[in-house]
Amino acid sequence: MSEFLEILTMLAVVIGWIGCIVAAGRVGERREALGAGLLFGLVFGPLGVIVAGFLDGRARCPGCGESVNQKRALCPHCHSSLKWVAGRPKILEAVKPEQPDE
């Protein structure tokens, strides 16, 4: 009977670990770091899910330096028009900072 419980416990741990891999992958995917998220989940389990939240595989906006999801036409931070060339954003039209009237 105790052998059955051991197998059941191991099965629960394995299923829980697989759940951590999936969860970390999904967390990483939101910031375009799916592969790294899956890896962190696989290696670190529940801790990997937390660490995956700090991953960021997104490109940086050349206008403001903030992270931007690929294929976005506008930077959500500085509203510059972006053109994507080879996976990197280029500015089409930068929003000029407001000049105080003189």
Interface with Zn ion (CB under 5 A): 61, 63-64, 75, 77-78
Shortest separation between residue 86's beta carbon and Zn ion, angstroms: 19
User: Closest distance between Zn ion and the C-beta of residue 79, in Å?
Assistant: 7
74 within 8 A of 82, measured Cβ to Cβ: yes
Nearest to 45 by CA among 26, 17, 12, 14: 17
Shortest Cβ 97–Zn ion spacing (Å): 12
3-state secondary structure of 43: helix
Beta carbons of 67 and 31 less than 8 angstroms apart: yes
- Smallest gap, in angstroms, from Cβ of residue 56 to Zn ion? 15
Is the CB of 26 or the CB of 58 nearer to Zn ion? 58
* Residue 87, burial from CB neighbour count under 10 angstroms (0-12, 13-18, 19+): exposed
**Between residues 45 and 63, which has the closer beta carbon with respect to Zn ion?**
63
Cβ proximity to Zn ion, 9 vs 69, nearer residue? 69
